[in-house]
Every structure is written in structure tokens, then in C-alpha cells.
């Protein structure tokens, strides 16, 4: 309701003030641009989503593996945690040109950049879940003679599932952000792929409605990814609690 009112006010203001589309297009111009340029925008959207989804899968594997290693050994924790924090606080836009230069395959370079952005929430949330295993259950496993590896895989990992799912939902949107940032860097170098390149090209041509159309598609994609991972989280936890 409020969204519809906001869009209506936006469109009315553009019409009333006679704002040209190359300065600020109204919602009608943006929707028309989506349909008129669908032949370019839709393949670009799929390209960006492919990078984001691949990066999310890679971030999930890397984040969970590193979290398990940190939980299994204090030495691994001391070795992994500082580098993970360094990668998290380093702006990907600063290292993306180097990654694109070092990795010959453009798609792989984009995935690497997006993975760097996306993996930390999975790592930190999974590690927190593994560390929060109820001590009474740990003592019970030890009482029955379970090894450290058995306690980790049969007790700590299942207990960390809620934390992992929270990290996964956060990383889903971050993977999309990382893909777009990497595409901006690659697009500036002439690699034509993804919605970020469409935004760059539209800005050069002053096709502002198409630029806004690409931004709208990115925003909707982020909402869909977040909602889908939220639904997955609820489904998994419902089955887990009902088991």
C-alpha cells in the first residue's frame, strides 16, 4: 500500500514538474524500459544471478569447511580467523581489479570476487553455532565414549544449523552485491556481462530509464533471494524441530 502511494507520488511529481527522463524517470518510464529493453536486460539478469548463485554455493562450502576446521582445532582457528577478518574488512572493489587480472577466465574472476564478499557471514555464524553447543550434551556424548570428531559431526553441526541458515540468508544478498561490484570493475574494462554492465552502458548513453530498470531488477532479485533463503530456513527448522 505504502509502496504504491510512494510510486504514485513519484510519478505525479515527475509529470507536474516536467522532469525530463534523462534526469529522473518516473515509474512508468522505468517499466516501459524494462519491457522495451528486455532483450538486453533479461540475459544480463541471468548472467548476474548465475555469478551470485555460484558464489553463494562456493561461499557455503568454504565457510562451513573453515568453521568446522576452527571448531576442531585451536591452531586452525588462530590461523584462519585473522585472514577471514582481513578479507571481510577489505573492500572488494579495491582487490577486484587484481583478481580479474590474475584469473584468466572472466566468469571465474567474478565468482571469486563475489565469494570473498559472501563467505564471512556463513563462516562466522556457523562457527558461533558450533561454539554454542550445549555443554551438558557435550558431556553426555563424552560419557558414552564419543570421540571428538563424532561429537563435532553428530552433535555440534546439527546444533549449528539455525546459525548457519541465518548466515546463509545474509550471504545470499551479499553474493549478489559482490557479483555486481565485480561486474562494475570488469565492465569498466570492457567485459560485457551482467546488469552492472548494462548500468554502465546506459549511463554512457544517458539512457537513464534503462539504468533505473536495471537497478529495479537488481533490487527485485535481492528481495527474491532473501525471501527464498528465508523460506528455506523456515522449512528446514520446521522439519528439524518436528523430527
Instruction: Report the C-alpha gap between 37 and 139 in whole angstroms.
Output: 62
pTM higher than the cut 0.85: yes
Domains defined for the chain, CATH in brackets: 51-242 (1.10.3720.10)
Q: What percent of the chain has pLDDT over 70?
A: 94
Contacts of 53 (CB under 8 A, 6+ apart): 175
Specify the residue for cell string 570492457: 190
Res 183: pLDDT = 87
Rounded-to-integer distance, Cα 69 and Cα 196, Å: 36
Interatomic CA distance for residues 212 and 18, integer angstroms: 18
Let me know: does 111 contact 54? Beta carbons within 8 Å: yes
Cell numbers for 32 = 516501459
pLDDT at 25 over 90: no
Q: What is the pLDDT of residue 243?
A: 53
Which residues are CB-neighbours of 207 under 8 A, at least 6 positions away?
Answer: 33, 201
d(CA 207, CA 192) in angstroms, rounded, equals 17
Has residue 96 got a pLDDT over 60? yes
Return the pLDDT at 146: 67
Decide if pLDDT at 1 tops 80. Answer: no
- Cell reading at 3: 509502496
Q: How many C-beta atoms surround the C-beta of residue 31 within 10 A?
A: 16
Q: What is the distance between the alpha carbons of residues 40 and 48, in angstroms, rounded to a whole number?
A: 13
* Average pLDDT rounded to a whole number, residues 180-197: 75
Phi-psi region of 173 (alpha: psi -120 to 50; beta: other; left: phi over 0): alpha
Amino acid at each position: 500500500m505504502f509502496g504504491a502511494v510512494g510510486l504514485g507520488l513519484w510519478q505525479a511529481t515527475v509529470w507536474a514538474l516536467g522532469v525530463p527522463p534523462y534526469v529522473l524517470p518516473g515509474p512508468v518510464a522505468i517499466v516501459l524500459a524494462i519491457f522495451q529493453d528486455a532483450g538486453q536486460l533479461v540475459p544480463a539478469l541471468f548472467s548476474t544471478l548465475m555469478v551470485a548463485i555460484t558464489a553463494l554455493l562456493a561461499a557455503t562450502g568454504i565457510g562451513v569447511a573453515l568453521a568446522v576446521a576452527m571448531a576442531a582445532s585451536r591452531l586452525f582457528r588462530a590461523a584462519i580467523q585473522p585472514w577471514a577478518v582481513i578479507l571481510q574488512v577489505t573492500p572488494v572493489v579495491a582487490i577486484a581489479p587484481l583478481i580479474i587480472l590474475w584469473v584468466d577466465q572472466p566468469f571465474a574472476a567474478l565468482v571469486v570476487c563475489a565469494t570473498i564478499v559472501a563467505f564471512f557471514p556463513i563462516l562466522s555464524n556457523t562457527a558461533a553455532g558450533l561454539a554454542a553447543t550445549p555443554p551438558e550434551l557435550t558431556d553426555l556424548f563424552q560419557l558414552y565414549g564419543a570421540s571428538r570428531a563424532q561429537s563435532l559431526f553428530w552433535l555440534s553441526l546439527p546444533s549449528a544449523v539455525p546459525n548457519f541458515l541465518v548466515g546463509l540468508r545474509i550471504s545470499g544478498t551479499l553474493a549478489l552485491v559482490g557479483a555486481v561490484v565485480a561486474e562494475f570493475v570488469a565492465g569498466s574494462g570492457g567485459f560485457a556481462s551482467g546488469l552492472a554492465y548494462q548500468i554502465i552502458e546506459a549511463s554512457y548513453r544517458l539512457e537513464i530509464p534503462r539504468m533505473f530498470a536495471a537497478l529495479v531488477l537488481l533490487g527485485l532479485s535481492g528481495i527474491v533471494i532473501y525471501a527464498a533463503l528465508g523460506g528455506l530456513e523456515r522449512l528446514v527448522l520446521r522439519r528439524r524441530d518436528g523430527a
